[in-house]
Amino acid sequence: MSTIAGNLQAVEATIQVACEAAGRPRSTVQLLAVSKTFPAEAVLEAVAAGQRAFGENYLQEGVDKIAAVAKALPDTRLEWHFIGPIQSNKTRPIAANFDWVHTVERLKIAQRLSEQRPFALGPLNICLQVNISGEASKSGVTPDELPALAQAVAALPNLRLRGLMAIPEPQDDPELQRVPFARLRELAQDIVKSGIHLDTLSMGMSSDMRAAVLEGASIVRVGSAIFGARHYE
Ligand SMILES: *Cc1c(COP(=O)(O)O)cnc(C)c1O
């Protein structure tokens, strides 16, 4: 078995055990394999092992990889999620190449994605990135500003607002890891109470996926536990 296939099995086992501990069916958690910095060949190995959803952070790298994988596997339907920071002049290729965007934190970006989404592809799935670590993080809408942003994004025609996403401050203690995830779940519940349908909590990475599943994650974004350590140039 390839290393990636073995790693995928281990991650799958972690998710299953966490689902059992949480009393949740395994089918309520989607594994997003974060392939940033790894070549198309690594994605092909993961696909051969059964993985179908992939996350990318860097636009050009992601677009090139999507094309390379599509060329190698023209008949395999994959799901691509954009999970990196978004520059407002780079929204068009995101809207044209990805199925999901997890990192919307401003209305202007959402408006551009809606305007630029090719109609034939159907609505683009959106998560709003929330800053739940306060001053420590510069990314994400603040909890105070979240309800108004959710209202406005939910009204855009070519987007489908699915839920919330967060990247908490790294934390070693498994119990403390749960605190920001619980906070994100509560913020989503408040939005649902206001009448906006949400079905997604994108939270949890290699080192805290168990805590995230215990607090209701519906997408865990796992990179290094599947593909190995990343080497940035
Ligand atoms: C890189 C990245 C991940 C995966 O992180 P790992 O610790 O390698 O699992 C998940 N989410 C986002 C937004 C990322 O940038």
pLDDT at 233 > cutoff 80: no
In a domain, 232, yes or no: no
| pLDDT tens, residue by residue, 176-202 | 999 999 999 999 999 999 999 999 999
Integer CA distances (angstroms), 180 to 21, 177, 184, in order: 19, 7, 6
Residue 214 located in a structural domain: yes
Of 46, 44, 94, the closest CA to residue 226 belongs to 46
Q: Positive or negative, the Cα torsion across 46, 99, 161, 153?
A: positive
Q: Is residue 185 a part of any domain in this protein?
A: yes
Give the Cα separation of 98 and 79 in Å (integer). 8
Residues 200-212: tens digit of each pLDDT:
999 999 999 999 9
Q: For residue 33, report the distance from its CA to the centre of ligand 1, in Å.
A: 9
Count structural domains, the chain: 1
Q: Residue 213 domain-assigned?
A: yes
Q: What is the whole-number distance in angstroms between the Cα of residue 34 and the centre of ligand 1?
A: 6
CA distance 128 to 132: 12
Q: Would residue 30 count as lying in a domain?
A: yes
The residue to mutate among 221, 226, 232, having the most atoms of ligand 1 within 8 angstroms of its beta carbon, is 221
- Protein residue closest via CA to atom 13 of ligand 1: 83
Ligand 1 contacts CB of residue 83 (under 6 A):
yes
Query: Does 161 map to a domain?
Result: yes
Residue 184 sits in a domain of what CATH number?
A: 3.20.20.10
Q: pLDDT tens digits for 42-96? A: 999 999 999 999 999 999 999 999 999 999 999 999 999 999 999 999 999 999 9
- Give the residue numbers spanning the domain of 86: 3-227
Decide: 36 in ligand 1 pocket, CB within 6 A: yes
